[in-house]
């Protein structure tokens, strides 16, 4: 396993990295979960204004805003798929969230970014499957993008971290 991938337990909004990734919704409207936490910590009004200028984001794609009041320089907003049984392209779309976010980071010259467990909350993606996709796709991107120093999988709780650690061991 690529040792540039790390697992960390805590609130992603506290991380001083080049960019944190947000598990956004397609309207970029802010919501619950990690999205809500990021909007509150970045400064809801200014982040919402930046999101309104962009307009929206399709599932599996990524857009970028400044980090505003966050310690992170930028926020890469990506829209994960809502789990609806697994026959609706969910795996491809989730994989795309990771690759599009990594590509966006490279384009910006970022070397250190952090991902939450995209789609693993209210979007209902089976956690083990989501984590396997996250690790596999980030590892694949790191093979190409040698400039990256660190990709952090930020987990809100230890049980999520255990799933990542099992794969990264
Ligand atoms: P989605 O709508 O994509 O499912 P959620 O925000 O509901 O997104 O959940 C995604 C993951 O983010 C879940 O594993 C959840 O526990 C986690 N999470 C929620 N808040 C935070 C936070 N502040 N920092 C890191 N992870 C978080």
Here the CATH number for the domain that contains residue 101 is: 3.40.220.10
CB of residue 57 inside a 6 A radius of ligand 1: no
Is 18 one of the annotated active-site residues of the chain?
no
pLDDT (average), residues 41-50: 98
For 144, the domain range is 5-168
Residues linked to residue 151 through DSSP beta bridges, in sequence order: 5, 113
pLDDT (average), residues 38-48: 98
Active-site pick, 2, 3, 18, 35? 35
The residue to which tokens 């990506």 are assigned: 78
Residue 18 pLDDT more than 90?
yes
pLDDT tens-digit readout, 126-147: 999 999 999 999 999 999 999 9
Task: Return d(Cα 166, Cα 73) in angstroms, integer.
Answer: 30
Asked if residue 98 lies in contact with residue 5, where contact means CB atoms within 8 angstroms, the answer is no
Ligand 1, residues 90, 120, 124, 160: which to mutate, most atoms within 8 A of Cβ?
Answer: 120
Residue 123: its pLDDT value, please?
A: 98
Number of domains in the chain: 1
pLDDT tens-digit readout, 57-107: 999 999 999 999 999 999 999 999 999 999 999 999 999 999 999 999 999
């Amino acid at each position: 396993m690529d040792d540039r991938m790390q697992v960390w337990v805590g609130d992603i909004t506290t991380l001083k990295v080049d960019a944190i990734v947000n598990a956004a919704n397609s309207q970029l409207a802010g919501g619950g979960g990690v999205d809500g936490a990021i909007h509150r910590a970045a400064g809801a009004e200014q982040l919402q204004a930046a999101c309104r200028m962009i307009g929206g984001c399709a599932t599996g794609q990524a857009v970028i805003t400044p980090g505003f009041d966050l310690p992170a320089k930028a926020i890469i907003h990506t829209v994960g798929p809502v789990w609806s049984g697994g026959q609706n392209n969910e795996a491809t779309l989730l994989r795309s969230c990771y690759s599009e976010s990594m590509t966006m980071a490279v384009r910006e010259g970022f070397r250190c970014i952090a991902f939450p467990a995209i789609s693993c909350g209210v979007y209902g993606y089976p956690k083990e499957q989501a984590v396997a996709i996250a690790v596999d796709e980030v590892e694949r991107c790191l093979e190409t993008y040698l400039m990256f120093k660190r990709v952090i999988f930020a987990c809100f709780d230890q049980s999520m971290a255990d799933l990542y650690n099992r794969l990264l061991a």
